[in-house]
């Protein structure tokens, strides 16, 4: 007869350290300490970036210059918000799926996820401040009352696209998700102190709620922050398309941080089996991204309706190299580099693939914002400084959050499964 698998609750009971003594010689105590060098570099990046942003505000005069300034800030703010959100999604998805393989490096997506309040605040400023300065947002055509009055198409969209509702949606979705991810993190830290199944089960509830709101958040915010730049145009695939981009970038960033910490001598429990699974996620979701991007493109290309093709016309005419380039960076490169089993178990190839994916998806977001606002491909001081500034905050918050808890979640019910994980 088959051995009947136990229902998940009972399986957890068996794995619970309180119920069964852990027979292992593995060292679970591992504390991350931010070195003075890491602190200095992240502070330096932040300082130089912030200074550069302030300088570039005065460096690009006129209406066009200001549009470019805010476009750069928006692209990068949305990009980093996506990375932080994808890390929280990683936790929530693995909780709901009773995933155990990732437990040994679970603190890393947690720490990156704690970056979200910062990015959300900065993004809110980027969306709010121009409205106060100019009376309308230079990136969003629909915030200009005069333009809306002469444009029946945008006027028809005002019940949804109006500033009060725009910010209500922002605060509602981002607020709820920050709250839920904060709760998940708090429970995870408490679990380290007290042990037991209580925190895991409470996190299951938070994670399920997170996924429900995340599904709405990802579509709604993609329409709000990115799709409404090209106000006349719409695509029903846009939410999924941006989600796939966020998610694969998030996994690439998690992989890079894991490899970095491993090289620093931390995370002794992480081995090539865990890296292999991260590589699989990057590989699979690169293909998923290609699938969605191509579907969106092909349907519009096939139907050939002028108001739909306008979106791709802009990208064809002035951004041709980047437009085709992202297919190479986001599809061909990860597809060919990460295809073999050995490549996914090798830190060097994983690092190369992750960096290519991050660059490729940054260009993807660049192509969502720039053609509709700046109209020309430009990359200069403001883009560079904003990237530097955000990288600085990212590194500082991630390191600071990693230092707050043991790097191995000591009492996580699936820890043993993760230690013995094999692929």
Partner 1 sequence: MKHYLLGLFDDEEVLLEAVDKVKSHNLRIHDVVSPFAVHGLDKKLGLRESRLHVGGFWVGAAAALTALGFMTWVFTANWPTVFGGKPYFSFPAFIPITFEFTVLNASFWMTFAFLVLCHLWPGRFRESLDPRTTSHLFGIVFKITPRMSEADIQHIREVLKQAGAVEVKERIMEKHY
- Minimum CB separation of residue 314 from partner 1 in Å reads 18
- Minimum CB separation of residue 335 from partner 1 in Å reads 11
User: Is residue 2 within the footprint of partner 1 (CB under 8 A)?
Assistant: yes
Burial of 310 (0-12, 13-18, 19+ CB in 10 A): middle
Alpha carbons 107 and 350: distance in angstroms, whole number: 20
3-class DSSP state of 2 = coil
Where does this chain touch partner 1 (CB under 8 A) — which range of 120-128, 293-301, 305-313, 359-367?
293-301
- Minimum CB separation of residue 317 from partner 1 in Å reads 18
User: At a CB cut-off of 8 Å and minimum separation 6, what does 253 contact?
Assistant: 83, 86, 87, 112, 354, 358
On whether the CB atoms of residues 95 and 207 are closer than 8 A, the answer is yes
Cα of 360 vs its chain's centroid, Å: 14
User: Is residue 3 within the footprint of partner 1 (CB under 8 A)?
Assistant: yes
User: Is residue 101 within the footprint of partner 1 (CB under 8 A)?
Assistant: no
- Minimum CB separation of residue 92 from partner 1 in Å reads 27
- Minimum CB separation of residue 340 from partner 1 in Å reads 8
Q: Which residues of 201-212 are buried (b: 16+ CB within 10 A; e: fewer)?
A: ebbbebbebbee
Q: Which of 200, 297, 366, 370 binds partner 1 (CB under 8 A)?
A: 297
On whether the CB atoms of residues 206 and 187 are closer than 8 A, the answer is yes
User: Is residue 97 within the footprint of partner 1 (CB under 8 A)?
Assistant: no
- Minimum CB separation of residue 252 from partner 1 in Å reads 23
Assign 3-state DSSP to the chain and report helix, strand, coil percentages, each to 5. 75, 0, 25
Hey, what are 219's tokens? 């579509």
Give the residue with the Cβ less far from partner 1, 97 or 422: 422
User: Is residue 301 within the footprint of partner 1 (CB under 8 A)?
Assistant: yes
User: Is residue 43 within the footprint of partner 1 (CB under 8 A)?
Assistant: no
User: Is residue 132 within the footprint of partner 1 (CB under 8 A)?
Assistant: no
Where does this chain touch partner 1 (CB under 8 A) — which range of 143-151, 170-178, 291-299, 389-397?
291-299
User: Is residue 422 within the footprint of partner 1 (CB under 8 A)?
Assistant: yes
- Minimum CB separation of residue 307 from partner 1 in Å reads 17
Alpha carbons 11 and 112: distance in angstroms, whole number: 29
Give the residue with the Cβ less far from partner 1, 2 or 58: 2
Q: Which long-range contacts (CB under 8 A, 24 or more apart) does 132-139 make?
A: 134/66, 137/70, 138/63, 138/66, 138/67, 138/70, 138/373, 139/67, 139/70, 139/71, 139/74, 139/229, 139/369, 139/372, 139/373
User: Is residue 304 within the footprint of partner 1 (CB under 8 A)?
Assistant: yes
**Near partner 1 in 324-383, by CB under 8 A:** 339, 341
Q: Which of 63, 152, 302, 306 binds partner 1 (CB under 8 A)?
A: 302
Give the residue with the Cβ less far from partner 1, 233 or 297: 297
Q: Which residues bind partner 1 (CB under 8 A)?
A: 1-3, 294, 297-298, 301-302, 304, 339, 341, 422
């Amino acid at each position: 007869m088959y051995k009947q698998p136990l229902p998940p609750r009972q399986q957890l009971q068996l794995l619970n350290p309180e119920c069964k003594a852990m027979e292992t010689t593995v060292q679970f105590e591992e504390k991350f300490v931010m070195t003075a060098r890491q602190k200095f570099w992240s502070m330096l990046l932040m300082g130089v970036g912030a200074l550069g942003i302030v300088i570039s505000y005065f460096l690009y005069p006129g209406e066009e210059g200001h549009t470019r300034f805010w476009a750069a800030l928006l692209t990068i703010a949305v990009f980093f918000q996506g990375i932080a959100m994808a890390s929280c999604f990683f936790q929530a998805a693995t909780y709901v799926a009773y995933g155990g393989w990732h437990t040994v490096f679970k603190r890393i997506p947690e720490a990156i996820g704690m970056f979200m309040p910062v990015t959300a605040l900065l993004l809110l400023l980027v969306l709010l401040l121009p409205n106060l300065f100019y009376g309308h947002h230079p990136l969003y055509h629909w915030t200009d009352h005069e333009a809306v009055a002469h444009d029946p198409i945008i006027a028809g969209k005002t019940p949804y696209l109006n500033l009060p509702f725009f910010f209500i949606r922002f605060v509602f979705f981002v607020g709820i998700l920050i709250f839920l991810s904060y709760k998940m993190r708090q429970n995870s830290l408490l679990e380290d102190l007290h042990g037991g199944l209580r925190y895991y089960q409470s996190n299951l509830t938070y994670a399920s709620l997170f996924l429900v709101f995340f599904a709405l958040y990802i579509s709604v915010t993609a329409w709000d922050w990115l799709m409404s730049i090209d106000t006349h145009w719409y695509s029903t695939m846009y939410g999924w398309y941006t989600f796939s981009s966020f998610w694969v970038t998030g996994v690439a960033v998690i992989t890079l941080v894991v490899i970095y910490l491993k090289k620093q001598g931390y995370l002794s429990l992480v081995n090539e089996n865990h890296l292999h699974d991260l590589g699989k996620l990057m590989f699979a979701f690169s293909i998923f991204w290609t699938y969605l991007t191509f579907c969106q493109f092909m349907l519009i290309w096939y139907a050939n309706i002028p108001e739909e093709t306008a979106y791709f016309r802009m990208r064809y005419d002035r951004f041709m190299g980047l437009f085709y380039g992202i297919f190479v960076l986001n599809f061909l490169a990860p597809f060919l580099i990460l295809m073999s089993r050995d490549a996914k178990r090798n830190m060097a190839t994983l690092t190369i693939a992750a960096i290519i994916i991050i660059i490729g998806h940054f260009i993807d977001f660049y192509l969502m914002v720039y053609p509709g606002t700046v109209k020309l491909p430009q990359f200069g001081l403001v883009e560079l400084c904003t990237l530097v500034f955000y990288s600085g905050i990212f590194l500082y918050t991630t390191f600071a959050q990693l230092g707050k808890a043991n790097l191995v979640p000591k009492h996580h019910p699936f820890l043993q499964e993760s230690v013995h994980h094999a692929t």
